[in-house]
Structure 1
Amino acid sequence: MSPKCQITVNGLREGHLIAGQRVTGTVKFAIYKPTRYDSIDISFVGSGRCRFAVTPEESNTVILTNKEEYVSINKNLFTPVGDQMVEPGDYEYPFEFLLPGDIPSSVKSVPCDIQYNIFVKFSRKGTFISESENELKVPVYGYVKPCSRQPLTFKIEKKLLSFNPNNKITVKGEIDRTCLKPGDRIHLTMTVTNDSNVDISIKSQLVYFNTYISKGASPSKEIEKGSIPGTKETSPTIRANSVLELERTIPILETLYSIQNSKIMVGEFKVKVTVKAPFPHGKAYARVPIVIGWRKEEHESLIQRDLPPSYSEAIRGNN
């Protein structure tokens, strides 16, 4: 039986790591009797898998899959010299990894799993025992690229069923920022011109679109969509032949994060604004894309300021 490890990672802000971050920590374990190990290694591995079902027309359901590897870094902690044994005692090894800057965020859903793990492997060659591992799962947030750095405007026009061409509703709106961090708030302003003869209302909400992508020369895509709980709001009634100015603040949960830099999944968010008119006029809507996450340039200075020194820097500093 291999020793159980205690894997400690420094600088885990709010329980996660950031792409491009230098990861430092220690591995601790105890040996109770002289043991021969061919090697003791620590690895940082990130990979993703997706799996979903599609049913082509007049065909049976097909299960489609895809996978990719984002990072695999290995560090050797111990290699014996000759017949060297690992003697009984408490052992502690420092480690250091530099994460790539273009990896996606962690994901855990039914169709897709993107995860990052630190493994400590004790390798032994023998008839019954070969090797065993200790594992620590570490959430990672990837950097995101904004769809726009400026406020974004949008417009909705809804013409009602009428012989009067001016019987319509117009919504002109603006979102102050389209690239936001988890925990931020979206500020939405709208001018609603109701030139119709009916009362209407405006519904706004934050919605998500997750696209899962299979492998192959002609990959299939599965799109999962829905609204984010707690973000839906409907305006007061907007009377016929009136103009109303609306303001709305939409909260962004700390757990929301756009998924980019992956070939198996794309995770997107949009602000959906809907004009709701009574039957039989129906609805009209606009969906404004936003990106949730950290931009590389705004986060690099924070990482450099907050992270502890590397092991080599700490050693040099003590001399």
Structure 2
Amino acid sequence: MGFKEGQLFLDSPNGTYYSGQSIQGKLIFQEEKVKSFRGLYVKITGFCHVHWTTSRTRTTNGKSETYTVNHDSHEEYINVKVYMLGGEAGEYTIQPGKYEFPFHFRLPDNCPSSFEGPYGHIRYEIKAVVDRAFKFNLEKKVMARVMAPLDLNLDPYCRTPIEMELLKSYYCCCVNLGSSNVTVKLPIGGYCPGQTIPIKLSCSNKGRVEIKDIKLSIIKKVTYIATCEPGKEEEQDKVVEIRKGPVAAKTTRNWTVDMVVPIVDVYNLFTCQYIRAEYTFKVHVSPKGCHTNVGSSRRIVIGTIPLTGFQDNQPPVFHPIPEGNLSGVNTSYPTEPHRENPPPYPGNSDNPQNLPYDTKSKATPRPDNAYVAATAPALDSPDITLPEK
């Protein structure tokens, strides 16, 4: 027994917290021998790290060779260390016995959401370390998942209607075959998972070419930015798609399409410089035959706190914030997490949505034991008795 067999517990059963919230936890271990070390501390770090590699070719002494370039970025949001015993110098000795050390950290109000991707991640680690002179340190890690709520009411763009018009003229062997006009209207620009987007779609086909189909979709794009060996990498994923049509030549068709925003993880990454997550609403018109397609897209915002006055009688299915009266509370950063069917994090294969990009082949595999998941019940904060030195 000893520190190696000890455990780190957090007061949140699923290890999930909101930005601006306090994290409380406890380090518990049973020591059976007298031990000496410089210090025992608990540390929290929150950081973004972006990394990928590319291959380049150069000529040296007339010979061509390939070398690897590392593209990186890194920034920190919190880095706090608290000593439980000892310090950075000297020697501290403990006697055999059971040790329980409570700790407490407050997350910054504006820290971004936790995120995992193939080219970068945002993580919040809590680490207990035994600092040993002239020996390797002993460490224990646990990861806290941080959610940064995104209030649609704070962004004026979310209340702005979206209108798109796609005009297309058709020719064959220099012969004008007429044109088509597709219009799409969305009532606002911001939605929450579970809400319904009422889309007005109209196609006026004045030409002699049939419109095969009209695709309406929401696309998620994640951009990774490197500052060391500058560059960008992007990942795109189709969240939802609805098809309408066909539209015969010389006809007009109108639809009212109800598109439900799927239950997706919402990432508030506005305070992160190097990872950006964005959503776009895309319209794609495909004519029949050899004629080229036409498309258009607009930005939409997927948040966690819905717009007041829009579908108030139909609340979103996904409730990431505490229910009840939030009057006087900064709803961008609630103080207590909503724990109704909360997603476990990390490393739970039953809920891969928490790691939306880790399964792609481009990603660097992360060992299953990279972090110790926090699954402890709420803490009682008992009194602590330490043997004398």
Q: Output the TM-score relative to the length of structure 1.
A: 0.80
- Aligned residue type for 1:220: G
1:196-275 to structure 2, matched below 5 A, reads 196-197=206-207, 198-200=209-211, 201-216=213-228, 219-228=230-239, 231-240=240-249, 241-275=251-285
CA contact (8 A) 1:3 1:30 kept: no
Distance, in Å, in 2 between the alignment partners of 1:269 and 1:57 is 36
Shift of 1:254: 3.7
Secondary structure class of the residue paired with 2:93: coil
Secondary structure class of the residue paired with 2:20: coil
- The residue number in structure 1 matching 2:137 is 131
1:105 aligns to 2:116 (yes or no): no
Secondary structure class of the residue paired with 1:101: coil
1:11 aligns to 2:12 (yes or no): yes
1:303 aligns to 2:336 (yes or no): yes
- The residue number in structure 2 matching 1:153 is 162
Distance, in Å, in 2 between the alignment partners of 1:273 and 1:134 is 50
CA contact (8 A) 1:258 1:268 kept: no
Shift of 1:268: 1.2
- The residue number in structure 2 matching 1:33 is 33
**Over residues 151-184 of structure 1, what are the superposed CA-to-partner deviations in whole Å (9 max), with x where a residue is unaligned?**
531212222225779722121310545142xx43
CA contact (8 A) 2:198 2:257 kept: yes
Distance, in Å, in 1 between the alignment partners of 2:100 and 2:27 is 6
Shift of 1:194: 1.6
1:64 aligns to 2:43 (yes or no): no
1:48 aligns to 2:48 (yes or no): yes
**Over residues 31-90 of structure 1, what are the superposed CA-to-partner deviations in whole Å (9 max), with x where a residue is unaligned?**
111212322111111122212345789996743222222211112222289875322222
Return closer, same or farther for 1:300/1:70 CA change in 2, 3 Å cut-off: closer
CA contact (8 A) 1:156 1:284 kept: no
Structure 2: segments with no counterpart, 5+ residues: 60-65, 306-328, 340-377, 384-389
Q: Output the TM-score relative to the length of structure 2.
A: 0.67
Distance, in Å, in 1 between the alignment partners of 2:187 and 2:218 is 12
Distance, in Å, in 1 between the alignment partners of 2:69 and 2:289 is 40
Shift of 1:276: 2.1
Shift of 1:5: 3.0
- Aligned residue type for 2:11: N
Secondary structure class of the residue paired with 2:288: coil
Cα RMSD after superposing both structures:
3.5
Identity fraction in percent: 19
1:140 aligns to 2:146 (yes or no): yes
Alignment length, in residue pairs? Answer: 304
CA contact (8 A) 2:224 2:234 kept: yes
293-302 or 44-53: which moved more? 293-302
- The residue number in structure 2 matching 1:88 is 96
Distance, in Å, in 1 between the alignment partners of 2:187 and 2:27 is 47
Distance, in Å, in 2 between the alignment partners of 1:166 and 1:298 is 52
234-243 or 114-123: which moved more? 234-243
